[in-house]
Amino acid sequence: MAEGATDRVRIQEVQILSQDHYVLRKYRFEYRGRDGTWRPVVRQVYDRGNGAVILLYDRQRRTVVLVRQFRLPALVNGHPDGFLLEAPAGLLDEREPAEAIRREAMEETGFKVVRVEPLFAPYMSPGSVSERLHFFMAEIDATMRDGDGGGLAEENEDIEVVELPFNEALAMIGRGEIADAKTIMLLYHARIAGLL
């Protein structure tokens, strides 16, 4: 059976359409519906690799540490300036999720976190993107700040570190000022879990 095939899916052809920054593939496959009928289907899948995201929170100060950075897809899809307020995140790059997110937290925010709490690992846009995103939380305090953050220049990152009161971050979701799905999920998880 071909990779990704099941008793209801028979993959017939995979064609690479683009392999620039990430990989875009075109799949031709047969799909067996609930009525037993096989149908030909063509879909494109964007493969950017799996990633991880973390909410850094200071329980004593009731704050969260987020980052602001430019996102071209948001700009071209109607965001006023393309600068999104987000939880620190990045690709796994062949690393274990917990290791990858500790590295990203340090690079983006300057916080050196050792203990991270895994939460869940959903598919973020399964209709067209293969990415699975591993969600984490970590409690921090000022003594854990071991650098400036800001991202890596060699990766063209220009990241602003932003610390916000937790209740203000929640209010910003309602006002549309935090529009990043992964960040919204983490903030609401923290509220439901009663962490802040």
Classify 149 as helix, strand or coil.
coil
Return the H-helix or E-strand segment holding 75: helix 72-76
**Whether 80 and 113 share a structural domain:** yes
Q: Is residue 75 part of a domain?
A: yes
Tokens of 193: 């879990």
Tokens of 48: 């950017």
Q: Is residue 17 part of a domain?
A: yes
| pLDDT beyond 80 at 97 | yes
| pLDDT beyond 60 at 1 | no
**Whether 37 and 122 share a structural domain:** no
**Whether 40 and 59 share a structural domain:** no
pLDDT at residue 134, as a whole number: 98
pLDDT at residue 155, as a whole number: 77
Q: Is residue 69 part of a domain?
A: yes
**Whether 89 and 147 share a structural domain:** yes
CA 169-175-178 angle, 5° bins: 50
| pLDDT beyond 70 at 90 | yes
| pLDDT beyond 80 at 81 | yes
**Which residues are CB-contacts of 97 (< 8 A; sequence separation ≥ 6)?**
50, 52, 118, 121, 134, 136
**Whether 60 and 149 share a structural domain:** yes
Instruction: Give the total number of structural domains in the chain.
Output: 2
Full domain range(s) for residue 17: 9-47
Q: Is residue 3 part of a domain?
A: no
pTM of the model: 0.92
Q: Is residue 16 part of a domain?
A: yes
- pLDDT confidence bin for 154, thresholds 50/70/90: confident
